[in-house]
Every structure is written in structure tokens, then in C-alpha cells.
Amino acid sequence: MNSGRSGMASVDLFRRIPTDLTEATSLGAVMSLITLLLMAILTVSELTAFLTTDITTDVSLDVNDAATLRINFNVTFLSLHCDYVSVDVWDSLGDKRQNITKNVEKWQMDDEGKKRIFAGRNKDARAVKYEEHDATLEEMHENGVHAVVIDKASFDSFVTSTDYAFVDCVENAALCAAQKIQAFPTVRWYQDGQGVLPDYKSDRTVSALNSFASRKLEANERYKDWEEKAKKNDKNKKRPPPDPTKGRPEHPGCMVSGHINVNRVPGNFHVEAVSKNHNLNAAMTNLSHVVHHLSFGEPTLRNTRKTKKVLAKIPDAHKNFSPMDSSSWVTKKFHAAHHHYLKIVSTHFESDVTKYQYLEQSQEVKYEEEDVPEARWSYDISPMAVTVKRKGRKSWYEFITSLFAIVGGTFTTLGLIDGVLYKAFKSKKL
């Protein structure tokens, strides 16, 4: 039995030295503490590296073979009425679409920038009907001139004393600008020297104009004896009488939102001020806008659970999907508008998830005095694509091997240093 134990002991790789044959020193204690501290630091660092996932990016030719690209947008125009908003698209293949109506909605905004009236989907504007008269101008003037031509100097006096008046905005541009006339021709109702909004936008026929005037006069009659009726009705005592001269609040702001599908080629989509029934006043057309959202591809809200799971593990630095969100572009000069230039880059993630990042550059462009400005987003798709991958963790056996190397290497290295220092100090003592 003893011979068996002796045979097993002969292959012992971890033979013990009796304690009586060893010597403990202060230097050895210090080196032991340093060894344990280094082992702990290196072990924690290795464990952190094992649990941390690295992000790697590669650039290669884009293999995306999709024929179309979806553009998602939500933009508020601060000084443009929804009646004049038109969303157009043009690309290098010759595709030109004007006043896109599909999947585009418009909201009229109030003076505080809040949605006030749903202006409906961006449908084709109805053409206004006009009446044609065969009578000559001289024959029409036989019964007198019903519309008096006025200018800036005579406007204030005529608007309070004359039933009908006509202003030539070409000759009186300053007056029309002061009255904020955005389009020609404009029919506006004035009462007690004040303009009543909204402007008349229906048919230019005798019956339609008579109906419009009758409704205005009937409204005045209804509100004439408001105060007397309010005294009889306790509910209305604290309510101020309505002012028919103020009409309905009419702020020209408009929110345009939706999505459009375009060819995957260079092109642009732009918002311009146009009208079937008016000529826009270029000097009064301001395309200042706020970009609430602009992105390409499927919107984030519609991403599948798999896509959301993949994107949740990617740092924000690699998710530059909508850098223009919540940005304002205010035009303070006449005959100018902001143009935006976008470089779109396909970005591929794990599990066949593809998104679009883009870079943006903007500048203010000046227009000729007779041209109506437009807000433009020009886009170009890069032929290169970015592939974002998560670098996998080490395998468990690589992690164990690294730990053994740390423990063994630290112990051996510090042991050698301890031996050298011990001999050096011992020689000095001798």
C-alpha cells in the first residue's frame, strides 16, 4: 500500500516545501500584495472585455437591389397657406410628378404653431368657375363704375366709405404687401375699416358672390342685437359679444406630412406655392419651415420586433437615420428659400436589417423677383454601403486560457522580480 502511494507521489507536480525550510520577509509580503492586486485588476479587465461587445463597420459596394425608396416627412411651413402647398418630385430618370396627392396630409396651423384645422389629404384643387360676359367695358360702365380703383393714399378713406373697391397690386405693391395679399386676384371683405378673414375663394360668378355677400350681411344682423339678448340670458351675461369683423382666425401656417415613393436615383422633392386659380405674389411667399421629421425607408414605428431588437444593440453613433429632425430654417429675406442636399447611405445590420442614414447640407438660395421660391430637398444615393456588425465575444475556453495566463504570468513575473530584489538587498546587508 505504501509502495503504491510512493509511486503516485513520484509524479506530483506540486511538491510542497516544508514550512521550516522557508523564510517570510517584508519584501515578500509587499510583492505578494502587489501580485494579488495586479491579478485582481487584470482578471476584472479580462472579464469586462469578455462581456463587452465591440461594433465594427465595413464599407463595400451597395448590393441593395430595391427599385424604389420611401421618403417620410413631416414639415411645417410657417407662412404658407395649405391652399397653396404643392409637393412635387423630380428625378434623373425623367419622372416628374406635381402636386402629389397620395399619402400626403395637410393641417392648417394657428398663430401658436398648433394644429387647428384638418385641411384634408392633398387632393387636386378645384378649379374656380368664372362667368364670361359679352358686354363691352363701355356698356358695363353705362350704369356707373361699381368698383373704384384706389391706391395706398386713398385706401383707408375708401375702405370705410365705399362699398366696392379695386386695387391694382402691380401698381400698388407696397399696399398689397401691407395687407398681406399672397395671391392674385384676391377678394376680401372689409367691415368697419378692417379685413374679415378668410378671403373669398369660391366661384367668380354673380350668384356665388351674391351668396357670399348675403351670408356676411346675415351674420351682421344676427350679432347686431347680441347684447340685448345676452341680458335676457344669464348664460351669456359673462360672454363678450362676437365681433363679426374679426371673422375666423386665419394664420397662413401649414403642416405637411406623409410619405412618397421615389426611384432609387438622384432627384429631389420640393414644396412650392402654386394655385390653379391664383398667381402667387413672389414677394409675399415665404418658405420658412420646421422639419419635424425626415427619414428614408420604412419608418421606425413600423419596424418589426426583430429589427427593433437588432437596433437596440447598436450605439446611436451608427443610427444617423433622421439628423434633420426638430430643425428650423427661417428665411428673413424676400425672394429666397432654403435648399437641402442629402447624401443617402444604405446601412446593413445583422439579420438582414437595412436602414438608411444620410448627411445633410443646407444653404439659402436667392430667386429672381418674378420667380416664386420653393423649399427643396435634393437627394443622392451613395453607391457604397456601410455594414455594421457586432464583434462576437470570446469563447469560454479562450476566456479560461486568458485567465490562466494572467494568473500564471503575474505570479511568475512578480516572483522573478521578488527574487532579484531579495538577492540585491541581501548582498547589501552582507
Residue ranges covered by each domain of the chain? 26-52+395-429, 59-126+254-391, 145-236
Pick the CATH number of 59-126+254-391 from 2.40.50, 2.60.470, 3.90.1150, 1.10.3470: 2.60.470
State the Cα angle at 193 between 191 and 195, rounded to 5°.
60
| Strand positions, DSSP E, 251-335 | 254-263, 267-273, 279-280, 289-296, 327-329
Whether pLDDT at 418 is above 90: no
Superfamily covering domain 145-236: Glutaredoxin (3.40.30.10)
What pTM was computed for the model?
0.66
**pLDDT digits 0-9 by tens, 116-173:** 666 555 555 566 777 776 666 666 666 665 666 767 777 777 666 666 667 777 777 7
- The three grid cell numbers given for residue 143, joined into one nine-digit string: 350704369
Taking a C-beta distance cutoff of 8 angstroms, is the pair 373, 86 a contact? Answer: no
Residue 79's pLDDT is 85
Distance CA 398, CA 402 (A): 6
Residue 1, pLDDT > 90, answer no
Helix (H, G, I), strand (E, B) or coil at 115: strand
Confidence bin at 319 (pLDDT 50/70/90):
confident
The answer to whether the beta carbons of residues 104 and 139 sit under 8 Å apart is no
Q: Is the pLDDT of residue 390 over 60?
A: yes
Residue 361 has pLDDT above 90, yes or no: yes
